[in-house]
Amino acid sequence: MDEEHFLERAKQFAHRLAELQNRLDPDSYDLLLRILRGINDAIVHRRDGGSDSGSVDVEFSPRDQDRFTPALGRELEELTSLLGPHGLRLVVDFGAEQERDRMEVEAIARASGMDPGRS
């Protein structure tokens, strides 16, 4: 990517981020920034000769999981596409957390005398 192309994409990224700051609620915007910091850390770590994967985990609370809507995910994809072709792969995995939550809800249902296997 030549310097002119890079600068244009950087301007688009900054413009998009400013637009999102005005459009998103403060908590969702903060979550987006935390994720972007994690992505930045992964890129820097990989460039500095860190592990091949350059992966970084961003901790999500249950409230963060609720805030990470499909729309926010699409905005994040749009922003990362402006960062350039770094071989980025964004993985959002709530699987283990959701399974733990499901088991906890089922345990509460059983303790309350309900059968969680029946709809």
Higher pLDDT, 39 or 23: 23
Taking the C-alpha atoms of residue 102 and residue 104, their distance in angstroms, rounded to an integer, is 5
How many Å apart are CA 88 and CA 84, to the nearest integer? 9
pLDDT (mean) for 13-25: 95
Q: What integer pLDDT is reported at residue 92 of this predicted model?
A: 65
* pLDDT exceeds 80 at position 64: yes
Checking if the pLDDT of 85 tops 70, the result is no
Q: Check: CB of residue 98 under 8 Å from CB of residue 55.
A: no
